[in-house]
Amino acid sequence: AQKITQTQPGMFVQEKEAVTLDCTYDTSDPSYGLFWYKQPSSGEMIFLIYQGSYDQQNATEGRYSLNFQKARKSANLVISASQLGDSAMYFCAMRELDNYGQNFVFGPGTRLSVLP
C-alpha cells in the first residue's frame, strides 16, 4: 500500500503568492519523521524541512513551513512568497523511526511551476 500520497502531480502559482503542496501518509508506528525535499531540473535532492511525530509545533524554515495535522496524517508544505527559483519537483518522505534501518519512503512528487 502507498505510504506517502501526494495528490497533486502539478501545481502552478503566481510569483510572490503562497502555495500549499499536499502530503498524506500512512503508518502505524508512533515515532516517525516527515521530510520535504526539492529537486530542481539539475537532479539534486535538496532537504527543505523536517517534522517529527512528537513535535508540538509545526516546523518552519525561512519561507517553508509544514502544516502538520497528526490526526489526519497530513504534512502539507507551505511555501510563502513564491520565487521563480522555487519551480521544481517536491517530494514528501517519511521515515518510521522505530524501524531504523527501514529507509525513507518517498511520495510520487509534485511539480511546482512558479509563473512570473
Partner 1 sequence: SAVISQKPSRDICQRGTSLTIQCQVDSQVTMMFWYRQQPGQSLTLIATANQGSEATYESGFVIDKFPISRPNLTFSTLTVSNMSPEDSSIYLCSVDLPTGGTYEQYFGPGTRLTVT
**CB-nearer residue toward partner 1: 43 or 116:** 43
Choice from 87, 95, 96, 114 touching partner 1 (CB under 8 A): 95
Of 9, 10, 54, 61, the closest CA to residue 29 belongs to: 54
Question: What number of CA atoms fall less than 13 Å from residue 100's CA on the CB side?
Answer: 2
Number of residues this chain uses to bind partner 1 (CB under 8 A): 23
Choice from 5, 20, 22, 52 touching partner 1 (CB under 8 A): 52
Residue 64 in the binding site for partner 1 (CB under 8 A): no
Angle, alpha carbons 45-50-54 (nearest 5°): 155
Of 43, 44, 47, 76, the closest CA to residue 61 belongs to: 47
Residue 35 in the binding site for partner 1 (CB under 8 A): yes
- Point out which residues bind partner 1 (CB under 8 A): 33, 35, 37, 42-47, 50, 52, 91, 93, 95, 97, 100-101, 103-104, 106-109
